[in-house]
Structure formats: C-alpha cells, structure tokens
Chains A and B, each alone.
Chain A
C-alpha cells in the first residue's frame, strides 16, 4: 500500500482526533502536498462537526424525578442493609464472647475457683453446652428464615 493510500485511510480517524502524534504529523505533512487528500480530509471534518452538532435529546422531567426518587430510596435501603449487617455481625461476635466467657464464670460459681482449672466434664457441663448449642441453632435458623423472607419481598417489590 502506498503512503498516499495509507494516509487516506487515516483521514477519518484524524477527523475524530484519534491519531497518535506521529500519525497526526504524517497526515498534516501529506495534506500540504495532496489536494485530493486535503479535500477528503475536509469532508471528514464536516462529518465530524455534524456529529458533534447532533441535537441533545432530553428526558422528560417526570422521568428524571422518578429516577431520582427511586435511586434515593434504593440508596437508603442499601445503607440500611449495610448498617443491619454490621450490627448483626457485631451482635453475633458479642454473643459468642459472652457465651465463651460465661462458661468459666458458670464453673466458678458452681464449683469454686479450683473448678475452673478442673478439665473433667460432668453432666451439668453437658447440659449447659446442649442449651448453648440449641439456642445458637434456633437463632441461626430464625436469621436464615428472616433473610429468605426479606429477599423474597425485595424481589416482589
């Protein structure tokens, strides 16, 4: 392909301002000595100008207001969800800490200070562990059911 043909292919991109500096210089230098390409470049320039002048359609004001209102509601919901998630995580962490801490306290109250160091398990311990596990499983199941219900409601909304 000759230089002339190569440059001619670049003219549309030149009108779009999409050439790198080196190609831009090549085009400018070529246009100085080639009337045909200069005319072609002018055509592309006019096309580019017409594209830039296309009328800007505007959305109806009611549509913009509805979009704004819906987005604001969703943003508020998103931040409420984030807050709820953070709160729930904090509460779970706190509950675990409390549970773990309560075991030695429970032992201390029921068996005295030496009992804390006693590694032997007895039936009171097993009852206490069973109660804790049941409470956690019930809490977890309730949270899962609530979450599913919320998700279903959100989908329907």
Chain B
C-alpha cells in the first residue's frame, strides 16, 4: 500500500471511529475485493464467503471503537474476517480446519470457483493454464496453508502483518509458508504429473 493510500485509509478509519457512515462506505468499497477473496480462499464456497463478508463488516461497525489506531487497520480487518470465517468453519465443517477436501458434489472444480465474475484478460494460454492449476491445487490444501499463501502472495502482506492476522509468532508464519509451498508443489505434481515450470 502506498503512503498516500495509507493516509487516506487512516483518515477514513479516524472518521469511522467518530461514527461517519461515509467513511464506512469508503472502506467497504476499498477492501471489498480483497476481503471477499480472502474469505473465499478460506471457506471455498462463494455463497458462504458472501455471508461472511457481510458479517465481517457488521463486526467492523461493532468493534471499531475497540480498534487501536496504532495498529495496522488492514491486519485488524483481516483478523476480524479470519475469526468470523474460522468460527463459521468450526460450526459448519469442523473437519475442514484440519483436512484437505476434494471437489464437492456439484462437480464444480476449485479453479472454476476461484474464477472472477468478470471475464479474465486475454493472457498467454500457458500462463492461464498454469494459474488455473495452481488455483486448483491450492484449494486442496488445508485451510492453514491456504490462508498463509493468499496473505503472502495475493494480499502481499509483510510477514509481520501475517503474524498479526494469524496471531502466531513470525517463525510459525515462515514454517507454515514453507510447508504450504512444499505441499502445493507436491499436490501439483500428483494432480498434474509432467508439468514443467521452467
């Protein structure tokens, strides 16, 4: 996030703490895609992610007075979203917190569920295939690995921020990240044997 963006966010957060509805609206607009993507990576079902998206913003409205302005707002927001999603999984599918799950009964693959609602840009076929396979393999990882991968590679968070979101030490973040990448690669090699990355 650039310095300018940081200032705008800080300003919006300060306004929100004073009860400004426009500031809340601005923050929803700013974070809508990133927050939804993060939730979708955790729960994998668009309908559930949409429900959790709404619950997360209600939590923001409820807890903004307890937010410490010295903390990073993004990390705080993603921590709230994570807690909402993990509570949901614990209630609905407790097994999903530990075990990787295959494609569901709808026959819809992970990669198609991860696709944007918008038409993807015309990219090189190889790169698109590769990205699609990565998405499919990532979906089969346990939630602890999916979330660390999305926070690092998609949200481009610093390791310290990830540690804050996950409430774990920095060393644990590194360990999870390494294991997640190793498992992702193994998963790709099993699902798509012969795939070359050179």
| Min CB–CB distance B172 → chain A (angstroms) | 12
A70 and B57 contact, CB distance less than 8 A = yes
Cβ of B174: which chain A residues have Cβ within 8 Å of it?
A: 13, 18
Asked whether any CB of chain A lies closer than 8 Å to the CB of B138, the reply is yes
- How many cross-chain pairs have Cβ atoms below 8 Å apart between A and B? 140
Interface residues on B, range: 35 or more
Interface residues on A, range: 35 or more
| Min CB–CB distance B188 → chain A (angstroms) | 8
Cβ of A43: which chain B residues have Cβ within 8 Å of it?
A: 197-198
Cβ of A18: which chain B residues have Cβ within 8 Å of it?
A: 152, 159, 173-174, 177
**Prevailing SS type, chain A contact patch:** helix
Selected interface stretch from B71-79, B96-104, B115-123: B115-123
B152 and A67 contact, CB distance less than 8 A = no
Alpha-carbon distance between A63 and B52 when the two chains are bound, in angstroms: 11
Asked whether any CB of chain B lies closer than 8 Å to the CB of A15, the reply is yes
For B159-174 the 0/1 string (1 means CB < 8 A from A) is 1000000000000011
B36 and A15 contact, CB distance less than 8 A = no
Asked whether any CB of chain B lies closer than 8 Å to the CB of A48, the reply is yes
Asked whether any CB of chain B lies closer than 8 Å to the CB of A110, the reply is no
Q: List 6 A-B contacts (CB under 8 A).
A: A13-B181, A15-B181, A56-B154, A68-B25, A75-B24, A75-B61
Q: Interface residues, chain A, CB within 8 Å of chain B?
A: 9, 12-13, 15-16, 18, 39, 42-44, 46-48, 50-60, 63-64, 66-68, 70-72, 74-76, 78-79, 82
